[in-house]
Amino acid sequence: MTKEEDYLLSNQEIIGGLKAAIFRGESLKDAMMSFYQSGYDKSEIEQAARELMAEQSSKKEELQPGKRNVSVEEKKEEKPVEKKLIPPVKVEKPEEKKTLMPEPIVSNSKTLPLPKIPQKISSYGNKEMEPPKSKGLTIALIFILLILVGLLASIFLFKVELIDFFNNMFS
């Protein structure tokens, strides 16, 4: 892959992640910080955010009934102008959060937002070391191990004598 293809793939990943975060109700700023803390390049994140904002504003323009007669050429001309108008560092206001969120399909029943559940993190260092419950079992296993190691060593040391013993026993 070339650098340009890598950049495009990375940019698409960031845009997709930003869309998902906004859909979940997070602010664009928080989503951008999350990508930055994950190791993505700051300029790539800002570029993806600009493209996302331009995409969302163009979708809103398409949804407005008065502007449906705009030709394709005029839309292409408007898009670069929008990108230039967006500053590189975007500070969100609470009012903008509502305009950034995609229009969800609302049913007749009210939907409740999902509450944020705190993550449970295991505490490895906080547990006190418990003494072994069965010291007797450990001692017995060590004793059996020593007997087996001694038996194996005696087989190698007294190989000739063991062969003579079994030959005399069965002949």
What is the tens place of the pLDDT at every residue in 65-122? 554 444 544 444 544 444 444 445 554 554 544 445 555 555 555 666 777 777 776 6
Select the more confidently predicted residue: 74 or 155: 155
Select the more confidently predicted residue: 167 or 83: 167
Select the more confidently predicted residue: 13 or 91: 13
Q: Are 61 and 55 within 8 A, CB to CB?
A: no
pLDDT at 150: 97
**Model's pTM, two decimal places?**
0.36
End-to-end CA distance of the chain: 78
For the stretch 53-59, contacts whose Cβ atoms lie closer than 8 Å and that sit 24 or more positions apart, written own/partner, are 53/86, 53/90, 53/100, 54/79, 54/82, 54/83, 54/86, 55/15, 56/100, 56/102, 57/82, 58/82
Question: In angstroms, rounded to a whole number, what is the distance separating the alpha carbons of residues 32 and 92?
Answer: 12
Say whether pLDDT at 48 is over 60: yes
pLDDT at 82: 45
Residues 6+ apart with CB under 8 A from 10: 40, 44
HSE toward the beta carbon, residue 84, CA cutoff 13 A: 5
C-alpha angle 5/9/14, rounded to 5°?
A: 145
